[in-house]
Amino acid sequence: MLLENKIVVISGSSRGIGSAIAIEAARCGANIVITYNKQADSAESVTAKIRGLGRSALSLQVDVSSRVSVKKMINRTLETFSRIDVLVNNAGVLQQKPFLEITDKDWERMMDVNLKGTFICSQEVFPVMQQQGKGVVINMASSGGQLGGPLAVHYSASKAGVMCLTKSLARIGAPNGIRVNCIAPGLIDTEMTRDEICSNAGGDKIIQIPIQRTGTVDEVAHTAVFLASDDSSYITGQTVNVNGGLYMG
């Protein structure tokens, strides 16, 4: 029970990697706050699975790009559980689009959710964890932020920003017992990446992966649970690559 009785908040956890992390954390003993933007039915399904594992679960609608919305989420979590032990900044959007066709609106949306959302959620949870004298933040980046993405320039830029933000927050949080790490998944089979996987570019990328396959959401979830647990107590400011060898850095 690596996370026994921990309170774990996971943004964007109604599906994909987020839901896998939520369920795996619950299996490891955590009580979970599921957050979603538009996938209410999926969020309720994940919540039901967590309760079926004998753990407490709270499902909240949140727009991570809105500070007002995030504050409400933090307050509801504290009202229900009194503390926040782990924050997983997983909410994100992906758009495949040629560089010359990316609009200002496309760029702003990508940064608002992927980078600004991670910033806001972290900034709002830090005082809680500072008062507790302990806490863990896990940010979700991508190998695209390491390799660059010719069909997702704005996405890659936002995820590179997340990795740099992680290092800064790790330095800020360390004196108060707050560890901040980042996971950079490679090509993981999810609803969000399925179009890419099925494209010619996706096929070419799979050929370049030394393990010669896409990853699973459970493989990312296992990494997240490790980083959330005391088993990783001397790890902070790191980007952990879960990518089958696609990027080795």
DSSP 3-state of 26: helix
How is residue 116 written in tokens? 């600004």
* Burial profile 121-148: b = 16 or more Cβ within 10 angstroms, e = fewer: bbebbbebbbeeeebbbbbbbbbbbbbe
Residue 178 burial (CB count, 10 A): 24
First vs last Cα of the chain: how many Å apart? 31
Residue 37 burial (CB count, 10 A): 18
Residue 82 burial (CB count, 10 A): 9
* Separation CA 40–CA 46 (nearest Å): 10
**What long-range pairs does 94-99 form, CB within 8 A, spacing at least 24?**
94/152, 94/155, 94/192, 94/193, 94/196, 95/152, 95/154, 95/155, 96/151, 96/152, 96/195, 96/196, 96/199, 97/151, 97/152, 97/154, 98/151, 99/150, 99/153
Side-chain-facing half-sphere of 198: CA atoms under 13 Å: 6
Do 85 and 7 meet the contact criterion of CB atoms below 8 Å apart?
yes
Residue 155 annotated among the catalytic residues of the structure? yes
Q: Which of 36, 155, 234, 247 is catalytic?
A: 155
Do 188 and 216 meet the contact criterion of CB atoms below 8 Å apart?
yes
* Catalytic residue IDs: 155
